[in-house]
């Protein structure tokens, strides 16, 4: 099936109820507003999401265009002061690179609103997969980050793994499905997404038996697992799996699935390039969150992976570790996107 065909194809089972969930005071948890979102009964990637907690959409972006987006990503990172040469590992050092966020992804300097990023978000194969998932073409997208990881850097230590989920223990069932578009190959030795297949099925049992409710507060949509906690999953047959992708593939995963971004091994020479994007039905967003989203869009700010709530704009004014203002700060993207109705609807700026 051609990737774009997903955008038009819907069956009678693809329209889950979309209601705004509220905390259930009686049991301290928030039920999923999408109880029938994924099921092994579906004859497509939704069955994989239900069974494994992740699914790969092959060729979501045509290879030629994905390669073009990577070239634009390279242009972006080379546009900063320094002597960065994408073909010379000796130049892959901190002084030649802009600052990353806490997970070593690029979320500042207006990168989330570069034209190539918005063009990738609007690819038919990408939109089509999320349209099939949610049962609607009327979607909002996150203003998420870009991953551009240089292998075997000599100036920084290897980052320890941080196995985590992006959903609060208070949330039960499916609340969010995240997405990552691969602009470079991701083989066994390359940097990329590592998931723990099946861990989403044990989410409630783990938090109800291995943690306390007090530890869930304040409600934060992240939980980082300790080695001891990962051993609990391992005893139940849940182990890490490196997701291997080809250029133009997209991986989607349930936010309850334990995952992390792996570093390239010493055998890899691949510069990892990937774009994160999550989509949800626009009908889920409240007026106040849409206003915050509009403000983030107009200031070219990035946000989190949530497209419709917890909209907190990451500042574009970046400060260096010594407290001084980063001279690389920007007021706008290097190449601004075309402000079409389609883009503005995905951004939540105009209604469907």
Q: What is the pLDDT along the chain (352 residues), one digit of tens a residue?
A: 333 333 333 332 333 333 334 444 446 899 998 888 999 999 999 999 999 999 999 999 999 999 999 999 999 999 999 999 999 999 999 999 999 987 889 999 999 999 999 999 999 999 999 999 999 999 999 999 999 999 999 898 888 899 999 999 999 999 999 999 999 999 999 999 999 999 999 999 999 999 999 899 888 899 999 999 999 999 999 999 999 999 999 999 999 999 999 999 999 999 999 999 999 999 999 999 999 999 999 999 999 999 999 898 887 788 888 899 999 999 999 999 999 999 999 999 999 9
Q: For residue 264, is the peptide bond before it cis, meaning its omega torsion is within 30 degrees of 0? A: no
**10 Å Cβ neighbour count for 82?**
16
- Interatomic CA distance for residues 27 and 188, integer angstroms: 42
Domain assignment of residue 131, given as a range = 46-346
**Is 5 within the bounds of a domain?**
no
**C-alpha distance across the termini of the chain, in Å:** 27
Residue closest to 244 by CA, chosen among 180, 151, 324: 180
Q: Residue 252 belongs to what H/E stretch?
A: strand 250-254
Overall domain count for the chain: 1
**Is 14 within the bounds of a domain?**
no
**Is 61 within the bounds of a domain?**
yes
pLDDT value of residue 157: 87
**Is 28 within the bounds of a domain?**
no
CATH code of the domain containing 270: 2.60.120.620
- Interatomic CA distance for residues 125 and 58, integer angstroms: 9
**Is 126 within the bounds of a domain?**
yes
**Is 40 within the bounds of a domain?**
no
Helices (H), the chain: 5-8, 45-52, 63-78, 115-121, 124-134, 203-210, 227-234, 287-298, 341-346
Phi-psi sector, 36: left (phi>0), alpha (psi -120 to 50), beta: alpha
**Is 32 within the bounds of a domain?**
no
pLDDT value of residue 27: 66
Task: Please give the backbone phi and psi of residue 203, each rounded to the nearest 5 degrees, phi first.
Answer: -55, -55
**Is 59 within the bounds of a domain?**
yes
- Interatomic CA distance for residues 206 and 229, integer angstroms: 9
């Amino acid at each position: 099936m051609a990737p774009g065909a997903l955008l038009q194809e819907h069956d009678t089972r693809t329209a889950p109820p979309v209601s705004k969930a509220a905390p259930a005071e009686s049991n301290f948890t928030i039920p999923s507003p999408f109880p029938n979102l994924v099921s092994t009964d579906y004859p497509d990637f939704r069955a994989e999401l239900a069974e494994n907690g992740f699914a790969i959409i092959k060729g979501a972006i045509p290879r030629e265009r994905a390669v073009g987006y990577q070239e634009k990503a390279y242009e972006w990172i080379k546009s900063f002061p320094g002597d960065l040469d994408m073909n010379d590992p000796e130049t892959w050092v901190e002084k030649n690179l802009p600052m990353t966020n806490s997970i070593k992804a690029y979320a500042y300097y207006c990168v989330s609103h570069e034209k190539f990023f918005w063009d990738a978000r609007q690819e038919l194969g990408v939109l089509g997969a999320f349209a099939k998932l949610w049962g609607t073409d009327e979607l909002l997208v996150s203003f998420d980050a870009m991953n551009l990881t240089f292998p075997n850097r000599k100036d920084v230590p290897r980052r320890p793994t941080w196995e985590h989920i992006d959903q609060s223990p208070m949330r039960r069932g499916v609340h969010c499905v995240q997405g990552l578009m691969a602009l470079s190959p991701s083989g066994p030795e390359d940097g990329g997404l590592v998931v723990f297949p099946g861990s989403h099925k044990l989410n409630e049992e783990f938090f109800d038996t291995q943690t306390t409710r007090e530890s869930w507060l304040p409600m934060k949509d992240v939980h980082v697992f300790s080695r001891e906690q990962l051993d609990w999953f391992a005893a139940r047959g849940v182990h890490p799996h490196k997701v291997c992708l080809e250029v133009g593939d997209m991986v989607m995963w349930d936010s309850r699935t334990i995952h992390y971004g792996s570093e390239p091994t010493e055998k890899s020479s691949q510069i990892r390039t990937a774009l994160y994007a999550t989509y949800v039905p626009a009908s889920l967003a409240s007026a106040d969150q849409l206003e915050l989203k509009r403000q983030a869009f107009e200031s070219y700010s990035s946000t989190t992976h949530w497209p419709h709530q917890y909209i907190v704009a990451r500042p574009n004014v970046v400060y260096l570790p010594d407290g001084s203002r980063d001279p690389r700060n920007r007021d706008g993207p290097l190449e601004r996107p075309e402000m079409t109705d389609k883009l503005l609807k995905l951004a939540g700026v105009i209604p469907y």
